[in-house]
Structures are given as structure tokens and as C-alpha cells.
Amino acid sequence: MTDTRPVIRLKPKANARAIRHGAPWVFDNEMVTDRRSRAIAPGTVARLEDGDRNPLGTVAVNPTSRIFARMLDRDPEAEIDHAWLSAKLRTALDHRARLYDAPFYRLVHAEADGLPGVVIDRFGDVAAIQPNAAWAEVLFDTLALSVVEVTGVTTVVKNASGRSRALEGLEEGVEVTQGALDGPVPVPMNGATYMADLLGGQKTGLFFDQRPNHAFAAELSRGGRVLDVFSHVGGFALACLAGGATHALSVDGSAPALDLARQGAEAGGMADRFEARQGDAFDTLAALGEAGETFDVVICDPPAFAPNKQALEAGLRAYERIARLAAPLVAPGGYLGLCSCSHAADLDRFRRASTRGIGRAGRAGQLIHTGFAGPDHPQHPALAESGYLKALFYRLTA
């Protein structure tokens, strides 16, 4: 069969070696761009060559994005079709099935699972698909069909929202494309029950990435009082209550998220030990400090304060401020957990900002644990952005 796909080419001085060694992205400044290449429709599958016209692989092209090409397959003749998608999904499913007894996890973590720009979270019989790259938007129907056939889910939610889609020039929206949803989906995790709003919640409705950090916090909180700031649907609070905490206070700016947290507490038989407070996190931390409140475990899991390099310095100051406000609320010998999902703020910078904030609060202690996303969120070895989540746990001894 004659290959009619367009051919795109690296500039002569572009680093073809990085692509050969696994780099999944080619930026626009690395490409030979002319009227022809700029006219390629976003999401088109193409053949990538180096500056000497040697084939590098099969890529998805988006001339409107800074990421001009995303590597799909090292085989320059690969057919990106139903069979190809199903094979990728079966590989991803096999990994998760080895890890989890129940089908609640991140099924596909974008580039790390060989489906660049695609995020799929599984909630039992429901799959929430985020097609965050133009090629996945073009092939969404085929992708959804493959997900149904490979996993056996009966409901598919297309979650076309978020910053990544805007960078790809894609429209936003959330819809059920197969099956039906009649409300939040109960999700069992770490002994707790979470209520995930797949149509109106943040991201796909729940943060599976924090699962191991929830579990670690639960170990620290047995028999103690917990403060969970930026709680969303009760992430750390419910896990800690399931692990034996005597009381948990969830703080979040979203009333709907806190309502879901309450429902989760009720579903888990924890309502008598659960409390929610709506308000700005910084203001609430300051108010709790002024009131002299203390907790055995304090966890702060804010949104990405540094989503890109331009926001890095302001983001680091925000992380430092969170640590400064939270540290005084930790009882002597208690624990402080600080999280960041900002890929622009690497672990070293985040740790220094957090430790500086603790020191500015007049507290001192030990860094006892560094956590990351769970194994259903694998990292692409050549893509630092895939290792975005960091969680630092301190024991404050003074």
C-alpha cells in the first residue's frame, strides 16, 4: 500500500539523537516549516524524518501548537488505527490489573503509556477520557470504541477541558458519549469511599495519583486530628479517617466538592468524625492559627501554583507561604504534608521553598518521606513533565 501521509522533517541542526533515544515531542523551532507543513491539519498522522531524510517514526502533527509533532510509533510505517489503539490499551490494562483488585485507577497516562496527550481514568464501569492532543480529538470515536472493547466499560465520558487542550487549539466541553450517568460515582480507595463527579468536577472527577500519599498520611494519623487543606472531595481527610483518625477537617473553596466529601464520609460511616469548612485556603489557615488550633497531621495539596516556567517564581513563593501558614497548626511531634503538582517546580525547588516556609514559621523538624504519584501514573523516562507530583512529609519536633 502506498503511504500517502505527509512527511515532516527536522532542521539539519536539530537533535535527532534525542528523538531516537526516546524523546516524545518535537517543538516547532526544531522543524523545517514552510507553507506546506503549516497547512497540515491539526491531528494529522505523518512521517517524521531527520535532516538527512532518514525516517524517525510516525508522529501526530499540530502546526498550531508549540509541540509540532508527538511521537506515536518508532515504526515509520505504523498504521494508527483501531488495532493499534487497542494494543496500546491492552498493554496499559495489563499493568493496572496486576496492581489493583478493583477497576478504579488511571488506565492511560499519556506519553508514558504510548498515547501522547491522552488521559483515561477508570471508575468501575465508566471511563473518563481526556483527548488533550489534536490527534486524539480526531480519532476520539475510534479511541472510545477501543476502550469499550478492551476494558468492558459501559459508559464513556469525554472530558474535553483543561489548559492542555487550549494549548492545542481545541474546544472545551464535557459529555457522555456512550451509556449514561445518573450522579456521582462511588470510588473505593484506601478503605474510604469517594464520590467522583465525572461531569462537573475537577479534572476527571478524582485524583488517583495521590493514592499512595493518602495511604501514608493515614498511617501517620491513627488516633489523631487531621486538617486537610485544598481537600477537593475529601482526598486526605477520608483516607485518614478510614485509617483511624479521630477527626478530620476538610477545607476547600468549592462548596460542591465539599458536599461530595460529606457524601463520601457518610458512605464510609465516618460522618460523625468529619467536618468541612468552605473558604480560601490561605485565609482559613491564618484564621485557624489566630484561633490557636492545632492538629496532629496537617496536609496541604494545592492546585499547580507553577504550571509553567513563567509562573515558577510566583509559584514557589506561594508554596513557601502555604508552609509558613500551615506549620504553626501542627502539634509538637506532629506531621506536616505538603504537595505540589507543578511540573515546573522540580523536587529540589519545591523542597527548598517548603523548608524555608517551615523555618519562617519558627518550626523545625525532620523530612521523613518523599512521595510521588502511584504506579498507575508511570513516568516517561525522557519527559520530566510526566513526573509532576511531589509530596513531602515532615515531622515537626520544635
Is-catalytic flag, 341? yes
Distance, CA of 352 to CA of 276 (rounded, Å): 31
Q: Are strands 104-109 and 7-9 parallel, antiparallel or unpaired?
A: unpaired
Average pLDDT, the chain: 95
Residue indicated by cell numbers 489566630: 290
How far is it, in rounded angstroms, from Cα 390 to Cα 120?
21
Domain 82-178 in CATH: superfamily? RNA methyltransferase domain (HRMD) like (3.30.750.80)
Cα 196 to Cα 206: distance, rounded to the nearest angstrom: 6
Question: Are both 7-73 and 190-396 of the same fold?
Answer: no
Per-residue pLDDT of 275-298, as tens digits, reads 999 999 999 999 999 999 999 999
State how far the Cα of 161 lies from the Cα of 204, in Å rounded to an integer.
Answer: 9
For position 208, what pLDDT does the model report? Answer: 96
C-alpha 116 chain-centroid distance = 14
Q: Which amino acid is at 316?
A: L
CA-to-CA dists, residue 107 to 11, 273, 371, angstroms? 36, 33, 20
The pLDDT assigned to 1 comes to 44
| Beta carbons within 10 angstroms of residue 74's beta carbon | 13
The C-alpha angle with vertex 88 and arms to 163 and 371, in degrees rounded to 5, equals: 55
Q: What is the pLDDT of residue 274?
A: 98
Residues of the chain with pLDDT under 50: 1
Hey, where are the domains in the chain? 7-73, 82-178, 190-396
Q: Residue 122 phi/psi, 5° resolution? A: -110, 130
At residue 195, the pLDDT reads: 97
pLDDT at 2: 52
Query: Choosing from 240, 300, 339, 341, which is the catalytic residue?
Result: 341
Fold of the CATH domain 190-396:
Rossmann fold (3.40.50)
Residue 41 CA to residue 134 CA, distance in Å, equals 9
| Pairwise CA distance, residues 143 & 147, whole Å | 6
**Of 252, 276, 253, 254, nearest to 264 (Cα)?**
276
What fold, for 7-73? 2.30.130
